[in-house]
C-alpha cells in the first residue's frame, strides 16, 4: 500500500488542461465543505485487538522495529515521535489483513493533548487511521484546486450528433492525472467522500460552463455522500444557475447504483433533482441483479449500460440476450438508454440495430479537456 498516488495509476496531463477553481459560498455545509486537517504526529497510538493473533503480529513488528510501546492484555500503546505517520501506517497495513485492519480499534493521542470525552467517542478502526495518515496528498489536491474534469461525448445512435458530454473527474499530481478510482478509494477510506464528491460536482459544472461544451452535461454523484438533499445539494443547484446552465441541460448520474442499499434515500435525492427540472440517470445498469430492481423502482430518465455488458455484445449470445431485454424494458418504461464503453464497429452496429438511443466510447473519442470532436464511423459525418 502506498501513501501517494502510484505511477501506474496515473495518466499523462494534456498540455492545454486548465484547472477549475471551486466557487465561494456564504453558506457552508460542515460535512461537505470543510476539509479535515492532516493527521500528524508526534503522539501515542492506542490499539485494542479483538484477537490475540492480530495482537501477536503487531507486537512482533514493534519489537523488531525497536519502537517504544507499552502493552497490557489486548491493548498496545505505541509512541510515534515522527510528524509524518504515513510510513508507519504502511508498515502496519502490510502485516494485517483487511478484516483485521477493520476490527482493530484505535485512538490517537497527540503529544500534549488532554483527552476529552469526545476523543474517546471518536475511536476508529485501524483501517480508517491508516487511510487518514495517508490522505494528505488528497486533502492538498482539493485545497489547492488540483482537480480537473475531462469530457467524454455522448452521441445520438442514429445520427452521430453530439447529444452531450459526461464530465469525468481527474486529479493532477506531478504533471500526471490521478484517475477517479484512486481518488475515491482514498476518500472513502479516510472519510473524505462527502468533500470529494462535492468538489467533483463543482468541477464538472464549472468546467462545462468554461469550455462551452454545449448539449447535455452528465454529472456523476455518489448517493452515499449526501446526508440530506435539501441541505447537501443546495450549493450544487445554485452553482448550475451561477454558471449560466439551465436545469434541462444537466443530468445527474448515480454512480455505483449497484451498491446503494438505501433506495428510499436515493429516491429522495432523485426527486429533489427532478422537482428542480434536472434529469437523472443510473450508471452501470446490467452489471448485476440489483440494478434491475433499482431500474423498476426509480424509473430514471436515462440508464447507462455497464461497459462489461457492452463489450463484445455482438459476439456473446448471453450478453446479447441480457442487453436486448434491458433495451426492451427501457423502451417500455420510456427510459432513454446510453451504451457506454463502445470500442468496435460491431458493438455499435448491434446496439443501433436493437434500439439504443445514445452511444459513448473510445470508438468515437477519448475524454479530453476541452472536449474533442468525435469521429462517426459511417459515411455521414455529423456537423
DSSP of 202-238: HHHHHHHHHHT--SEEEEEE-GGG-S-HHHHTHHHHH
- Once rounded to an integer, what is the mean pLDDT over residues 208-231? 85
Residues 207 and 346 in one domain: yes
Q: Could you tell me the pLDDT band of residue 9, with boundaries at 50, 70 and 90?
A: very low
Q: Could you tell me the pLDDT band of residue 231, with boundaries at 50, 70 and 90?
A: confident
Residue 26 has pLDDT above 60, yes or no: no
Q: Which of 33, 23, 26 is nearest to 227 (CA)?
A: 33
Residue 257 has pLDDT above 60, yes or no: no
Residues 130 and 142 in one domain: no
Residues 79 and 213 in one domain: no
Residue 181, C-alpha cell as written in the block: 478510482
pLDDT of 27 reads 53
Can you tell me which residue has the cell 444557475? 241
Residues 179 and 231 in one domain: yes
Residue 233 class from Cβ within 10 Å (0-12 exposed, 13-18 middle, 19+ buried)? Answer: buried
Residue 248 has pLDDT above 90, yes or no: yes
| Domain range enclosing 52 | 43-134
- Once rounded to an integer, what is the mean pLDDT over residues 198-216? 89
**Tally of domains within the chain:** 2
**What CATH number did the domain enclosing 76 receive?**
3.30.70
Written in H, E and C, the secondary structure of 323-349 is HHHHHHHHHHCCCEEEECCCCCHHHHH
pLDDT of 115 reads 84
Examine residue 378 and state whether it is found in any structural domain, yes or no: no
pTM (global) more than 0.75: yes
Work out the mean pLDDT of the chain and round it to a whole number: 86
Residue 15 has pLDDT above 50, yes or no: no
pLDDT of 113 reads 87
Question: Please, which residues have CB within 8 angstroms of residue 178's CB and are 6 or more apart in sequence?
Answer: 5, 9, 10, 141, 170, 171, 172
Lowest mean pLDDT segment, chosen from 29-43, 215-229, 341-355: 29-43
E-strand stretches of the chain:
11-12, 43-48, 69-72, 75-80, 105-110, 124-125, 147-156, 162-173, 176-178, 216-221, 250-254, 279-285, 302-305, 336-339, 358-359
pLDDT of 18 reads 52
**What CATH number did the domain enclosing 180 receive?**
3.20.20.450
Residue % of the chain over a pLDDT of 70: 87
User: Which residues face 304 on adjacent strands?
Assistant: 338
Of 115, 134, 153, the position where a domain reaches its end is: 134
- Once rounded to an integer, what is the mean pLDDT over residues 45-53? 92
pLDDT of 65 reads 93
Residues 305 and 201 in one domain: yes
Task: For CA atoms 115, 121, 126, 129, give the dihedral sign.
Answer: negative
Q: Could you tell me the pLDDT band of residue 24, with boundaries at 50, 70 and 90?
A: very low
User: Which residues face 359 on adjacent strands?
Assistant: 155, 339
Question: Higher-confidence residue: 21 or 36?
Answer: 36
Residues 285 and 349 in one domain: yes
Examine residue 181 and state whether it is found in any structural domain, yes or no: yes
State the chain's maximal CA–CA distance in angstroms. 76
Residue 272 has pLDDT above 80, yes or no: yes
pLDDT of 91 reads 94
Examine residue 119 and state whether it is found in any structural domain, yes or no: yes
Examine residue 375 and state whether it is found in any structural domain, yes or no: no
Examine residue 381 and state whether it is found in any structural domain, yes or no: no
pLDDT of 75 reads 94
Residues 243 and 177 in one domain: yes
Mark 138-147 as b/e (b = at least 16 C-beta within 10 Å). Answer: bbebbeeebb
Residues 272 and 144 in one domain: yes
**DSSP code at position 39:** -
pLDDT of 3 reads 46
Residues 110 and 59 in one domain: yes
Of 104, 134, 164, the position where a domain reaches its end is: 134
Residues 129 and 142 in one domain: no
E-strand stretches of 100-240:
105-110, 124-125, 147-156, 162-173, 176-178, 216-221
Residues 350 and 278 in one domain: yes
d(CA 155, CA 340): 10
Q: Could you tell me the pLDDT band of residue 293, with boundaries at 50, 70 and 90?
A: low
Question: Higher-confidence residue: 352 or 228?
Answer: 352
pLDDT, one tens digit per residue, over 94-149 is 999 999 999 999 999 999 988 888 878 777 899 999 999 999 999 999 999 899 99
pLDDT of 381 reads 56
Q: Which of 261, 314, 315, 326 is nearest to 287 (CA)?
A: 326
pLDDT of 7 reads 42
Examine residue 368 and state whether it is found in any structural domain, yes or no: no
Examine residue 70 and state whether it is found in any structural domain, yes or no: yes
pLDDT of 38 reads 85
pLDDT, one tens digit per residue, over 331-370 is 988 999 999 999 999 999 999 999 999 999 999 999 999 9
Sheet bearing 75-80, strands edge to edge? 69-72, 75-80, 43-48, 105-110, 124-125
Examine residue 383 and state whether it is found in any structural domain, yes or no: no
- Once rounded to an integer, what is the mean pLDDT over residues 221-234? 83
pLDDT of 243 reads 93
pLDDT, one tens digit per residue, over 208-217 is 999 876 789 9
d(CA 160, CA 363): 12
Of 80, 113, 134, the position where a domain reaches its end is: 134
Residues 88 and 153 in one domain: no
Residue 122 class from Cβ within 10 Å (0-12 exposed, 13-18 middle, 19+ buried)? Answer: exposed
Question: Please, which residues have CB within 8 angstroms of residue 31's CB and are 6 or more apart in sequence?
Answer: 194, 227, 232
Q: Could you tell me the pLDDT band of residue 283, with boundaries at 50, 70 and 90?
A: confident
Amino acid at each position: 500500500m502506498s501513501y501517494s498516488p502510484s505511477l501506474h495509476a496515473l495518466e499523462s496531463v494534456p498540455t492545454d488542461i486548465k484547472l477549475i477553481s471551486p466557487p465561494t459560498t456564504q453558506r457552508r455545509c460542515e460535512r461537505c465543505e470543510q476539509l479535515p486537517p492532516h493527521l500528524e504526529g508526534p503522539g501515542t497510538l492506542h490499539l485494542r485487538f479483538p484477537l490475540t493473533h492480530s495482537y501477536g503480529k503487531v507486537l512482533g513488528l514493534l519489537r523488531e522495529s525497536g519502537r517504544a510501546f507499552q502493552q497490557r492484555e489486548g491493548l498496545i500503546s505505541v509512541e510515534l515521535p515522527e510528524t509524518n505517520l504515513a510510513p508507519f501506517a504502511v508498515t502496519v497495513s502490510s502485516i494485517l489483513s483487511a478484516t483485521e485492519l477493520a476490527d482493530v480499534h484505535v485512538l490517537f493521542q497527540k503529544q500534549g493533548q488532554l483527552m476529552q470525552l469526545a476523543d474517546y467517542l471518536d475511536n476508529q478502526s485501524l483501517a480508517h487511521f491508516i487511510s487518514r495518515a495517508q490522505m494528505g496528498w488528497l486533502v492538498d489536491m482539493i485545497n489547492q484546486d488540483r482537480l480537473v474534469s475531462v469530457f467524454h461525448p455522448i452521441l445520438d445512435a442514429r445520427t452521430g450528433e453530439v447529444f452531450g458530454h459526461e464530465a469525468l473527474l481527474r486529479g493532477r499530481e506531478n504533471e500526471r492525472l490521478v484517475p477517479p478510482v484512486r481518488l475515491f478509494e482514498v476518500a472513502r477510506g479516510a472519510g473524505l467522500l462527502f468533500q470529494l464528491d462535492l468538489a467533483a460536482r463543482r468541477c464538472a459544472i464549472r468546467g462545462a460552463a468554461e469550455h462551452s461544451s454545449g448539449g447535455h452535461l452528465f454529472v456523476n454523484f455518489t448517493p452515499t455522500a449526501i446526508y440530506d438533499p435539501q441541505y447537501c445539494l443546495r450549493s450544487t443547484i445554485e452553482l448550475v444557475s451561477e454558471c449560466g446552465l439551465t436545469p434541462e441541460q444537466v443530468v445527474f448520474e448515480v454512480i455505483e447504483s449497484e451498491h446503494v442499499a438505501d433506495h428510499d434515500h436515493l429516491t429522495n435525492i432523485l426527486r429533489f433533482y427532478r422537482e428542480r427540472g434536472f434529469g437523472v440517470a443510473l450508471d452501470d445498469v446490467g452489471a448485476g441483479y440489483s440494478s434491475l430492481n433499482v431500474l423498476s423502482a426509480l424509473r430514471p430518465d436515462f440508464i447507462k449500460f455497464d461497459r462489461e455488458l457492452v463489450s463484445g455484445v455482438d459476439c456473446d449470445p448471453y450478453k446479447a440476450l441480457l442487453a436486448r431485454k434491458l433495451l426492451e424494458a427501457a423502451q417500455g418504461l420510456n427510459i432513454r438508454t446510453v451504451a457506454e464503453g463502445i470500442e468496435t464497429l460491431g458493438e455499435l452496429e448491434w446496439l443501433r440495430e436493437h434500439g439504443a438511443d445514445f452511444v459513448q466510447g473510445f470508438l468515437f473519442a477519448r475524454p479530453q479537456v476541452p472536449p474533442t470532436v468525435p469521429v462517426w464511423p459511417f459515411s455521414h459525418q455529423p456537423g
